[in-house]
Structure 1
Amino acid sequence: QLQRLPGAIHRRRQVAHQIQKAIGGLRAVRPGREAGGDGGVYWFMRFCVDENLLTVDKNAFAEAIAAEGIPVAASYRHIPSEAEWFRKRCVFPDSDYPWGLPEYQGDRTAQFPCPNAVAAVESHFILSIHENFSDREVEDIASAFGKVERAYLRRR
């Protein structure tokens, strides 16, 4: 499996680039911002929704795309400081380690709100992609995004 990984990563990057290009003309949805460097390893892609341009919210927009048969999820909210193991300080069963260790010098009740992470999650939805997506799947994705945007775009 590891021998196939570089090829799969390369192909996923190609698929992501094709999708980005295919939806480039849309107004209310665009690929999420990416960090610089060599590029992402796309197990899924994030898309930002400008709700101000739509008559529905991001969740309804994503649900409409999913109804077209496209593998999207309205939310991907996996913020470590919101996870149950962190909030309950229970990494290991029946233990308060590492917070309960005598050597632990940090604040055992510290909270880490992450408003920017929450805002990013709440304004984006995700699309699952696969390295074996062909031009047909890319076309289907772009078509569904366009159809849903046209249906919900505010008329000015």
Structure 2
Amino acid sequence: MQPRKKTETENDRGFTLPELLIVMVLLGILAAIAIPSFFSFIDSRNAASAANQITADLRLSHGTARNRLSNIQVTFNTTSNCYNVAGNGISRNRCLPEGTKFISSITAVEFKADGSAVVSGSGDIGVARASRSTPEYRLRLNTQTSRIEVV
């Protein structure tokens, strides 16, 4: 049995240069549309992550104050976008992720051993993307119950 001869069309496999160029142009257009949305999404997720981290630290500070029967203070620095948790041998300094900032008139929260909280300033603790002037996430603190909620 003799091997079958390949015809000319069977040897011509693959894509032509114009086909490849069209696909590359379409991919470039899609990337130009998608990349700005992707970076905006990343900044939004950083703001959500920062709000969740602050909420977790405030709740931990409240629980620690009640368990250790001592006062724990959380101070906010809006210029450096950092906050410090201190009291009863605890000292933690945390900063917000890059591209996020505080928007708040609250400078400190002190959790008391009896479960209450004393707030220096008024309003809510706001977290926003650095490019925005209004907060995307607000942390509301009830001073009687020390309940913290993200609004």
Provide TM-score, normalisation by structure 1. 0.25
Q: Relative contact order (C-alpha < 8 Å, sep 6+): which is higher?
A: 1
Higher helix share: 1
Provide TM-score, normalisation by structure 2. 0.26
Higher strand share: 2
